[in-house]
Amino acid sequence: MFNKVLIANRGEIAVRIIRACRELGMQTVAVYSEADRHALHVRYSDEAYLLGPAPSRESYLRADKIIEIAKRSHSGAIHPGYGFLAERADFAQACLDEGLGFIGPKPSSIAAMGDKAVARSTVAGSGVPVVPGTEGEGSLSDDDLLKVAPEIGFPLLIKATAGGGGKGMREVRSLEEMPALLNSARREAEASFGDGNVYLEKLLEGARHIEIQILADTQGNVIHLGERECSLQRRHQKLLEESPSPFVGDDQELRERMGSVAVRAAQAVDYINAGTIEFLVDKDKNFYFLEMNTRLQVEHPITEAVTNVDIVKEQIRIARGRQMRHTQEEIRLTGWAIECRVNAEDPYNNFLPSTGRIDHLILPTGPGVRVDTGVYPGFEISPYYDSLISKLIVRGETRGEAILRMRRALEEYKIVGVRTNIPFHQHLMDSHRFMAGQYDTRFVEERFSMEAPEDESETLPEIAAILATLVAHNEAQRAAQIIQRGERDVSNWKWVGRWERIHR
């Protein structure tokens, strides 16, 4: 039984895990790169060890060094967080081989779900619905794929078996264009994963992306914690998540069905610890298994907010061989939670990553607000890691209250020194489609613009357009976002005025 945990991660998630450990009375060991010497996770941990230079390859991906530090510091277990080594079966196995606990599933479960074709056929064998497509495991040649494609029917999707996150994915609308698309999909998959193997699925258009959080302990208990709506994303990067899903809403029967199918999918690979089953859900509420994420997810706090379950503490208890503290009957979703991912990127410039020092920072607080962050004033945002700087999570009794609370929290949030996507989230909170919960995975890319109100404004009087823009974006927030030291000498107000005249 361990009581010292090494956190093999950085940023907000490392801080989140350290907090859970401390509340459970456990010692914490941080690891960090040269870019993260002054990071919050280093300050919050009991001990911290340098891994190496800033690039992930030379620091947070150095499995050998991390295991060596775990042993040297007498840590009993490693929590991988998300990203980096979290879904590497070989790393989980190496931990176990060295007598270290891995706070996550068994290596065999990670491997089975890591190969998307194996995952499909494994869960399908347990009666989990999958999108019609190629069946079985093992590699398929172009000839094989071109032969079965017409049986599956067009449009279809080429997907990488080593994939996930949309890499190596291609839409195919006819047999004629398929050979070239197979080629480019294989090349991209080979470049990204070192594995050019692909499989086919019928393309589901206009579907929603809804995922189910599950927890499984070593005593054989598997429960689900309801769903998260994750359709608001751009180029496979999620931007906002909510729980419950407005699409599932009060259809408790659908929730229960998706939940029990998710539990079955987890059981199909002998799953232990926290995991997430992703589904595509069509207009008629048919749902299909997409993939399973065998890790703690970025958006776990919204599930915590509506279930009152501390998922990270449960992960640690489960890894210590303890029974889960909750039964399925005890889990009830109450209220509504929304998470906005605050990224250091410029929503007015194609979401270009923004780096630099955080000169000023005021975090929103107050009723129903949670901020998980790894940064503080004076911290330098480097280009080496993902651009997530914080997660703003709000909870309300109803979806309406949660949206109003999110607006209020976004107004309070001030970051000066780097650009952030806060104006994007503010714009989104004013979108009628978002308010109505009417969005699918194409919404941000196809129907949402930062430049103009979503419903064409030509017919509206000019004065209304100006007022709507001013109210929607909140002048003060806009001014704070725009400041870049030494770049111009006019006041923010003048600059905003010009900007708005240019962008009308």
Q: Which residues are catalytic?
A: 295
Task: Please select the residue that binds ligand MV4; options are 78, 162, 203, 268, rule is CB under 6 A.
Answer: 203
Task: Please select the residue that binds ligand MV4; options are 201, 217, 339, 372, rule is CB under 6 A.
Answer: 201
Q: Which amino acid is at 327?
A: T
* Residue with smaller CB distance to ligand MV4, 48 or 200: 200
Stretch binding ligand MV4 (CB under 6 A), from 85-93, 157-165, 216-224, 392-400: 157-165
What distances in angstroms separate CA 277 from CA 212, 271, 324, 347, one per listed residue?
Answer: 5, 12, 19, 30
Q: How far is the CB of 441 from ligand MV4 (least distance, A)?
A: 4
Question: Both tokens of residue 127?
Answer: 């009666």
Q: Give the integer Cα–Cα distance in Å for 40 and 28.
A: 13
Q: How far is the CB of 69 from ligand MV4 (least distance, A)?
A: 33
Contacts 24+ apart (CB under 8 A), 29-32: 29/4, 29/5, 29/69, 29/70, 29/73, 29/75, 30/6, 31/6, 31/7, 31/59, 31/60, 31/65, 31/66, 31/69, 32/59
* Residue with smaller CB distance to ligand MV4, 143 or 446: 446
Tell me the sheet residues that pair with 50.
Answer: 32
Stretch binding ligand MV4 (CB under 6 A), from 199-207, 243-251, 428-436, 484-492: 199-207
The owner of tokens 């997810």 is: 297
**Number of neighbours of residue 99 by Cβ within 10 angstroms:** 9
* Residue with smaller CB distance to ligand MV4, 71 or 236: 236
Task: Please select the residue that binds ligand MV4; options are 59, 122, 233, 294, rule is CB under 6 A.
Answer: 233
* Residue with smaller CB distance to ligand MV4, 242 or 291: 291
462-473 and 475-482 helices cross at what angle (nearest 10)? Answer: 70
Q: Give the integer Cα–Cα distance in Å for 268 and 146.
A: 30
By CB under 6 A, residue 157 contacts ligand MV4: yes
Q: Which amino acid is at 130?
A: V
Contact 43, 74 (CB under 8 A): no
Question: Both tokens of residue 188?
Answer: 């991209």
Q: Give the integer Cα–Cα distance in Å for 288 and 129.
A: 5
* Residue with smaller CB distance to ligand MV4, 7 or 156: 156
Contact 454, 460 (CB under 8 A): no
Tell me which H or E stretch contains 495.
Answer: helix 492-502
3-state DSSP assignment of residue 261? helix
Looking from the CA of 222 toward its CB, the CA atoms found within 13 Å total 22
Stretch binding ligand MV4 (CB under 6 A), from 31-39, 62-70, 195-203, 259-267: 195-203
Stretch binding ligand MV4 (CB under 6 A), from 198-206, 366-374, 449-457, 484-492: 198-206
Task: Please select the residue that binds ligand MV4; options are 101, 164, 196, 368, rule is CB under 6 A.
Answer: 164
By CB under 6 A, residue 294 contacts ligand MV4: no
* Residue with smaller CB distance to ligand MV4, 136 or 383: 136
Helices and strands (DSSP H and E) totals, the chain: 17, 22
Task: Please select the residue that binds ligand MV4; options are 69, 280, 281, 403, rule is CB under 6 A.
Answer: 280
By CB under 6 A, residue 204 contacts ligand MV4: yes
Q: How far is the CB of 238 from ligand MV4 (least distance, A)?
A: 8
Task: Please select the residue that binds ligand MV4; options are 12, 87, 242, 291, rule is CB under 6 A.
Answer: 291
Please give the residues from 26 up to 85 whose contact with ligand MV4 meets the rule CB under 6 A. Answer: none
By CB under 6 A, residue 441 contacts ligand MV4: yes
Q: What are phi and psi of 14, to 5 degrees?
A: -65, -40
Task: Please select the residue that binds ligand MV4; options are 127, 136, 150, 166, rule is CB under 6 A.
Answer: 166
Footprint on this chain of ligand MV4 (rule: CB under 6 A): 131, 157, 164-166, 201-204, 207, 209, 233, 236, 280, 290-291, 441
